[in-house]
């Protein structure tokens, strides 16, 4: 059995383990953060999938979603952050109201976990949308668009013809 080589990268005094091909190592701190975010999202999805009837996975899902949320705060629009804070306060009040009349600590914790799981699901889907709309999901393309090409100008301006069949000329 071949042992997988593990690599360590250091950026801004943070050492992070990177698996895989050395040619794919992140160069900047931003790349490291993007990889961490994508890895954290993958772990969230995995915990969410395994959380059915498993309290340990629910706790793990909630913790991972919170950490991912904090990693994404710089990419989150301010109006979304404000709504999320309001929603968090609403769920906090709901936990207090719904658990104050429960007698046993075990039942209180079970109900608290159910409510936290509801909030974490909302936050999870919000995190996915933020990642999908962030700069880290941009694709790099090569080439230049020849904006003096009449066919291209017609295609951009919706010239009334079948523009899907026409190739856009790229100047190398």
**Tens digit of each residue's pLDDT (9 = 90 or more) over 45-86:** 999 999 988 999 999 999 999 999 999 998 888 889 999 999
* One domain for residues 30 and 90: yes
Same-domain status, 90 and 155: no
Backbone angles phi, psi at 135, to 5 degrees: -65, -25
Kindly state whether residues 94 and 146 are assigned to the same domain: no
Cα(10)–Cα(13) distance, integer angstroms: 6
Tell me, yes or no, whether 103 lies in a domain: yes
Does a structural domain hold residue 1?
A: no
Q: Which domain holds residue 93?
A: 6-139
pLDDT at 101: 87
Indicate whether 98 belongs to any domain: yes
Low-confidence ranges of the chain (pLDDT < 50): 1-5, 163-172
Q: Is 103 exposed, middle or buried (0-12, 13-18, 19+ CB in 10 A)?
A: exposed
Whether 51 and 98 share a structural domain: yes
Provide the domain count of the chain: 2
pTM over 0.85: no
pLDDT of residue 52: 87
Task: Confirm if 99 and 108 have CB atoms less than 8 A apart.
Answer: yes
Structure tokens at 74: 């710089």
Q: Do residue 52 and residue 132 come from a single domain?
A: yes
Same domain, 97 and 13: yes
Read off the tokens for 89.
């306060």
**Dihedral over Cα of 89, 93, 94, 95: its sign:** positive
With CA atoms as reference, report the closest residue to 18 among 1, 32, 3, 2.
32
Alpha carbons 93 and 78: distance in angstroms, whole number: 23
Same domain flag for 65 and 87 = yes
What distance lies between CA 122 and its chain's CA centroid? Answer: 13
| Predicted local confidence at residue 123, as pLDDT | 94
Q: Are residues 129 and 148 in the same domain?
A: no
Q: Which residue has the tokens 């009837």?
A: 53
């Amino acid at each position: 059995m071949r042992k997988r080589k593990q690599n360590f990268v250091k950026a801004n005094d943070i050492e992070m383990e990177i698996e895989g091909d050395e040619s794919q190592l992140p160069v900047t701190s931003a790349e490291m953060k993007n990889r961490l975010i994508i890895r954290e999202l993958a772990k969230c999805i995995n915990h969410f999938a395994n959380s059915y009837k498993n309290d340990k996975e629910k706790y793990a899902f909630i913790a991972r979603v919170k950490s991912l949320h904090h990693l994404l705060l710089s990419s989150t629009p301010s109006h979304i952050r404000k709504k999320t804070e309001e929603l968090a306060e609403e769920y906090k009040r709901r936990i207090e109201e719904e658990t104050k009349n429960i007698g046993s600590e075990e039942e209180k914790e079970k109900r608290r976990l159910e409510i936290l799981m509801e909030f974490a699901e909302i936050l999870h889907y919000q995190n996915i949308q933020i990642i999908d709309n962030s700069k880290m999901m941009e694709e790099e393309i090569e080439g230049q668009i020849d904006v003096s090409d009449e066919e291209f100008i017609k295609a951009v301006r919706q010239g009334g013809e079948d523009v899907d069949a026409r190739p856009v000329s790229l100047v190398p």
